[in-house]
Amino acid sequence: EVQLVQSGVEVKKSGESLKISCQGSGYAFSSYWINWVRLVPGKGLEWVGRIDTNYYYTNYNPSFEGHVTISVDKSITTAYLQWDSLKASDTAIYFCARPAEYSKYSPLAYWGQGTLVTVSS
Amino acid sequence: EIVLTQSPGTLSLSPGERATLSCRASQPVTNNYLAWFQHKPGQAPRLLIYRASTRSTGIPDRFSGSGSGTDFTLTINTLAPEDFAVYYCQQFGTSPTFGQGTKVEIK
């Protein structure tokens, strides 16, 4: 069974750094991209970016590029989303998601449970 | 960037009725790489439809998708109590984007 398990709730202050994780299991981890999607309550879903877990290529939403970094550690089948300097506007639930097939042009069929990030100013 | 505009913002319906949700793209969606998701509070989004009209595994046949190019529709025939949720369209091309969502609420 494909599973994506994310790290727990985070409460931070503006300016602090943060790295949240998403561990995949039940499938060949390096054969699929991992995407990150943000949910801001009352605002809907936003695609943050994605990483090719085999070759480490990344694509970012221009709105997030330069503010977040997506990385992966294949040895522990885990992807990461990190910030060097958080802002209050980063407060959201962050989901990782895996496409149905090995292609970045494939719909997001498997999702993690979400990580709530709260940033106070 | 492809902007997806969903309408209406909120749909108030009763169980058993049909829901028709629209998603309009600012430019043609490559290869009809258009998906629909259902989202309920406290849960992860659930993939319903991809490539505009293909139902994902395990999705009931009361959900159907149609459209191509810039105009897409999600239809839910005979709304079940568990179908009241927020629905998002997403184009999963070169730089994916989501629509702003349509809330289907109980009338």
% chain B with pLDDT above 70: 100
pLDDT of res. B2: 94
Q: What is the overall mean pLDDT for chain A?
A: 96
Question: Taking 90 as the threshold, does the pLDDT of residue A42 lie above it?
Answer: no
The arithmetic mean of pLDDT across residues A67-85, rounded, is 98
pLDDT of res. A41: 83
The arithmetic mean of pLDDT across residues A74-98, rounded, is 97
pLDDT of res. B80: 97
pLDDT of res. B103: 97
Per-residue confidence band for A102, with pLDDT thresholds at 50, 70 and 90: confident
Q: How far is the first Cα of chain A from the last one, in angstroms, to the nearest whole number? A: 40
Are residues A44 and B45, on separate chains, in Cβ contact within 8 Å? no
Rounded distance between C-alpha atoms, residue B33 and residue B79, angstroms: 26
Measure in Å the smallest separation between the Cα of B3 and chain A Cα atoms. Answer: 12
Rounded distance between C-alpha atoms, residue B53 and residue A14, angstroms: 43
DSSP-derived letter for residue B83 is: G
pLDDT in tens, B58-73: 999 999 999 999 999 9
* Chain A interface mutation, best of B91, B95, B103, highest count of A Cβ atoms under 10 Å: B95
pLDDT of res. B94: 81
Q: List residues of chain B with CB under 8 Å from any CB of chain A.
A: 1, 31, 33, 35, 37, 39, 44-47, 50-51, 56-57, 86, 88, 90, 92-93, 95-101
H or E element, residue B46: strand B46-50
Which chain B residues are Cβ-neighbours of A62 within 8 angstroms? 1, 95
Question: Taking 90 as the threshold, does the pLDDT of residue A104 lie above it?
Answer: no
pLDDT of res. A103: 85
Which chain B residues are Cβ-neighbours of A114 within 8 angstroms? 44
Residue pair B49/B38 in contact (Cβ under 8 Å)? The answer is no
Query: A109 — contact with chain B (CB < 8 Å)?
Result: yes
Of B47, B95, B98, the CB nearest to A45: B98
Question: Taking 90 as the threshold, does the pLDDT of residue A53 lie above it?
Answer: yes
Compute the Cα dihedral for B102, B5, A99, A118 and give only its sign. negative
Question: Taking 90 as the threshold, does the pLDDT of residue B93 lie above it?
Answer: no
The arithmetic mean of pLDDT across residues A116-121, rounded, is 96
Per-residue confidence band for B104, with pLDDT thresholds at 50, 70 and 90: very high
Are residues B56 and A100, on separate chains, in Cβ contact within 8 Å? yes
pLDDT in tens, B2-34: 999 999 999 999 999 999 999 999 999 999 999
Measure in Å the smallest separation between the Cα of A111 and chain B Cα atoms. Answer: 6
